[in-house]
Chain A
């Protein structure tokens, strides 16, 4: 371990950037939480959708999730990273210009998201909804952030990399990897694109990203912040630095594998489900290691829990981290997941993490930072020192206000999370309940189970309002501190690190990439891993050779370690003082999990390999309807995945030729629409169940067909035109992605869509509903009536199954429930 030697100098930190990010986080946090309260209220009082396209639940829910994740927590994270990295590296941020570009670029991206999402411009992948031009902007700004961060590391005057920096490194490289892979897409226009993955591939990639967005955007950077600000607030070092090392590597290595737990009991291959469950359970250990390390850091400082709001917020935040990371593995057990998935239990789990862990860590950090970033003076004109024996936020405008925020926020979280737990378990039990030896559903009416949890959903709104009220107090407190104080940049005298030539091996950042990889620990481990992978893939005999090679490399590693063990230790110790090889090693650790999970799925689970059911291709009009379904955010409430569970099959696929959803039934869906929450019923086999006129009435006013429904009305679908001109380009892109649409000219595509539209229009006219054949309503009905259509490839194994021709629109839909009886039957079905 080297220490800094050399001349000293006074450096001035760039505290303007953290100040801006703190203020932006507070402003966007209020916006995101306000929208959150609104969408929560919409589920109880449907009229709050205001019958306007841009204020429906389906369009606003992504505004809420994106705002709180990327705007609130994102800005908070950047504030913490910029502030703490300078102190830990004992140098100013590398480039003020890059900091400015990062800040303003990020705010513009948030603004663009806040405009485009309510307009229905979405990719429909959760937490990855933004359209492709914004995706490119996000990538560019993220690179600016990464360059600035790593450049700062290269300039540092402290040889050692503190564990908080490790977490920041893991965040930057993993988010880059996740974001790039999950946003691979081909544009069809300036505002629309199709992801390159479809069906099960898209589901796996999406939840690999979605789960790890939680892991590497909402957790690892905040853990870095915890490891820096908690010791600062408690004025004592972290309880066990050794434990923090184990915490980091275990968390980073395990987290990336757990994504498939979002797809348990679905058509995802079982080995992936097992892997997701298995690793989620293992994740419990490092998470609790981190939690205990955090809480035990307060040893000897617990008395300050009474007087210091910063410690209060941190202690409760870490406790919620522990609760959420216990609950996550619990929900990943397949049996528990069969009850919890698609219900509000998941929503409660997420919010115990975001409101409790993220929100309270943010509050604690802001209260700690504010009196330091905006220094106040006492009556005598002297600076108020932020630290004394009772609190770490002296100089804050109102410590009493911070305490009030703490209690209001805590009660708000408990009301929110508690009500969602009860609502989720209640609805899950009701939806899964059967009678007559499991042959009948006890509660066949979906809406009945939804109505039963309305009081709990109202309680959730109250909890959300309380939490928001607490946050308003924070905003007032911080803004008043800023108004009464003066913006201050800290200066510090530091020992400048002597920059030596790279060949000398004891100086920081002296390790070249060649030295990093050309050594025994790396070459032997990688060789062993490659042989292990070959053992999976190679045919018999060759796989045995690969296995023997794996064992051989293991034996060789033991021999070499016994001969040169000291070199192995030296390599690791040097790695901890060299940010670039450390970053590469971290990337390898996080990439292994994704590689092993995604590669087989992407190469094997393709339409040409499907044995059994294969999705019928959409007609042009149905494809247009699907894009409207996506734009309206229907996936936020309706899944399209009947799980491999008796109650799911009884409710959504009871006919002999239906059953649970197979992997091939959505193989051409770009993007997939399996969903993550059932606020309404599953639609996987909605096609042909009800007549077109029912769908028309249901979308014009859902209460006309399902009296207690909380679904928004969509009257504008009847007036707005479908963009038929965009269809040829869309079909061409899908063809490039492997969807076997037959060759059709531009005119054929549009003519086909109009003909199918006219058929539907005439049917609607017969029941007294008048809409144009090119209206969005007609396209949406066409899509809904197609759901659940498939061909059975095993029916004629001797012949090559021809792809169904979408240029031949299906004839009039013959509903399972005729018009005459639909009103009574529809209620019973739902």
Chain B
């Protein structure tokens, strides 16, 4: 029974299910990313560059 479970049933089904699951996740996040507001995208994407002032302190 377990040999059949290992080698036969799971063999065919799991990758298909896994693919459907992954594809669903992928589509969901593509939709979410595409429908993001442009203003928000611009704001977040510029966060690394958002360093206006440039004070420094010696070796504290």
Chain A: residues with CB nearer than 8 A to chain B? 1, 3, 10, 12, 84, 87-88, 158, 160, 162-164, 227-229, 231-232, 235-238, 241-243, 245-246, 249-250, 253-254, 257, 269-271, 274-275, 278-279, 282, 375, 383, 486-493, 529, 532, 536, 569, 572, 589, 592-593, 596, 600, 604-605, 609, 611
Contacts and interface: CB of A to CB of B under 8 A. Distances in A.
Given A491-B57, A604-B5, A162 B47 contact: yes
Interface string B31-58: 0111111011111111111011111111
Given A12-B57, A250-B29, 8 more contacts: A245-B32, A246-B26, A246-B30, A271-B6, A492-B52, A589-B25, A600-B10, A604-B5
A493 B13 CA distance: 57
Contact of A488 (B7, B10, B57): B57
A705 B45 CA distance: 64
A733 B35 CA distance: 56
Chain B contact residues (Cβ within 8 angstroms of A): what range?
A: 35 or more
Contacts of A569: 35
Contact of B18 (A232, A589, A596, A600): A596
B47 A275 contact: no
8 contacts: A160-B43, A242-B33, A246-B26, A253-B22, A257-B18, A271-B15, A489-B60, A572-B32
A278 B45 contact: no
Contact of A492 (B13, B18, B46, B55): B55
Contact of A242 (B6, B12, B36, B52): B36
Contacts of A274: 11, 14-15
Contacts of B29: 245-246, 249-250
A383 B56 contact: yes
Interface of B: 2-3, 5-7, 10-15, 17-19, 21-22, 25-26, 29-30, 32-37, 39-49, 51-60
Nearest to A268: B6
Contacts of B5: 604
Nearest to B14: A271
A609 B33 CA distance: 47
A269 to B, nearest CB: 4
Contacts of B17: 532, 536
Given A87-B51, A596-B14, A243 B60 contact: no
B15 A3 contact: no
Given A3-B43, A242-B33, A492 B3 contact: no
A241 B58 contact: no
Main secondary structure of the interface of B (DSSP, over half): helix
Contact of A250 (B3, B26, B43): B26
Contacts, number: 147
Q: Which of A10, A242, A253 has the largest count of B CB atoms less than 10 A from its CB? A: A242
A279 B54 CA distance: 46
Contacts of B6: 269-271, 604-605
B13 A1 contact: no
A236 B46 CA distance: 8
A364 to B, nearest CB: 15
Contact of B55 (A271, A490, A600): A490
Contacts of A237: 42, 45-46, 48-49
A395 B29 CA distance: 42
Q: What 3 A-B pairs have minimum CB-CB distances, sorted nearest first?
A: A491-B55, A271-B10, A241-B45
A158 B43 CA distance: 11
B47 A490 contact: no
Nearest to A285: B26
Given A228-B48, A489-B60, A536-B13, A269 B7 contact: yes
Contacts of B60: 12, 489
B56 A270 contact: no
Contact of A271 (B11, B36, B42): B11
Contacts of B48: 84, 87-88, 162, 164, 227-229, 231-232, 237
Contacts of B56: 375, 383, 488-491
A132 to B, nearest CB: 31
A487 B56 CA distance: 10
A488 B13 contact: no
B18 to A, nearest CB: 6
Contacts of B58: 486-488
A523 B47 CA distance: 33
A7 B38 CA distance: 27
Nearest to A611: B3
Contacts of A3: 43
Nearest to A490: B56
B7 A1 contact: no
Nearest to A236: B49
A243 B60 CA distance: 39
B33 A245 contact: yes
B12 to A, nearest CB: 8
A10 B53 CA distance: 10
A180 to B, nearest CB: 24
Contact of A282 (B7, B22, B35, B37): B22
A235 B51 CA distance: 11
A536 B9 CA distance: 9
